[in-house]
Amino acid sequence: MALKTSLTKAAPVVLSIARIVVGFLVLWHGLIKIFGFPEGQLGGTVPVMSLMGLTGLIELIGGALMMLGLFTRPAAAVIFLDMTISYLVLNLPQGFWSIKNDGEAAMLYAVFFLFVATAGAGTLAVDRIFNRKSGVSPAAQLASPAAGVTLAIMRIFVAFMFIQHGLQKYMGAFGSRADHNWGTIRAWGGVMEFYLSPLFAAGLFVRPISFLLSGEMATAYFTRWASAGPWGSLPRGEASIYFCYVYLFMFTAGGGSWALDNVLSRKRAQASSSVKLEEAGVSRA
């Protein structure tokens, strides 16, 4: 219980860190579309006066605002709408599975910024300078009913995306090869992604699972992609980065609403209360 309390207290700070990292990834997409930087990545520049150009501007400005934590809620709402429309228009017509329709990043950013739009920026944000008089702390914003619901939505969508990687590595789905060479990180990663994602979706053991999967993604990034450098690692290491920080945040915050962990917590609390009442009755007798 003490560990859970400590993690919950850390959640607003970790949310800020995740917001800054994910904001940077969105900014990177905008830099490519508008300025062609870094050169040669993800198709390069697009005409500014086009749908993709508008998307690039939203990513460029919105990503910068996210990193600063400035106008966080409205900026997050705009990015959420942008990513949702992009996914529905560009990716979903190519197929249902996000791992095949090239829409995983858009889906992840959509659900993450939906959550930020309801939960706020966390502790490390310029908005905090202007909102000190409001009297509402970042912890209180995270504990709001709306934040609990959108956190649950994010949890379910992240599990949906992540199990596809498990199906790919462990079962050989989506035209990939099954990896059962247990001396490799990829094989064990497939096992964790395949078996832990359903539990995560159900909201069962969210914190320990998040800890394991965040570590898996950090290991994947540093062993496979980091050698290409800070910019060169992004095209292939982007998924490892955003999953790592989303899971790290959920390690501190838990699974939100609609989670089996909440049912177990209530039962433990009821059992503890019953024991205390019984002990009080014995002492009075």
pLDDT at 170: 96
Alpha-carbon span 277 to 90, nearest angstrom: 59
Give the per-residue pLDDT at 282.
54
**ω into residue 12 within 30 of 0, thus cis?**
no
**Distance (Å, whole) CA 228 – CA 171:** 29
The whole-number pLDDT of residue 281 equals 63
3-state secondary structure of 218: helix
- The single-letter code of the amino acid at 7 is L
How far, in Å, CA of 70 to CA of 132, rounded? 14
Q: Which of 51, 28, 54 is nearest to 41 (CA)?
A: 28
Which pLDDT score, from 0 to 100, does residue 279 have? 67
pLDDT at residue number 63 = 98
For residue 11, CA distances in Å to 114, 139, 218, 251 come to 17, 8, 19, 8
| pLDDT tens by residue, 166-193 | 999 999 999 998 999 998 889 999 999 9
pLDDT of residue 257: 97
Q: In which residue ranges of the chain is pLDDT below 50?
A: none
Largest interatomic CA distance in the chain: 82
pLDDT of residue 173: 96
Q: What is the pTM of this model?
A: 0.94
- Per residue in 219-254, pLDDT (tens digit) is 999 999 999 999 999 999 999 999 999 999 999 999
* Residue 166 structure tokens: 């498990």
Tell me how far the alpha carbon of residue 155 is from its chain's centroid. 8
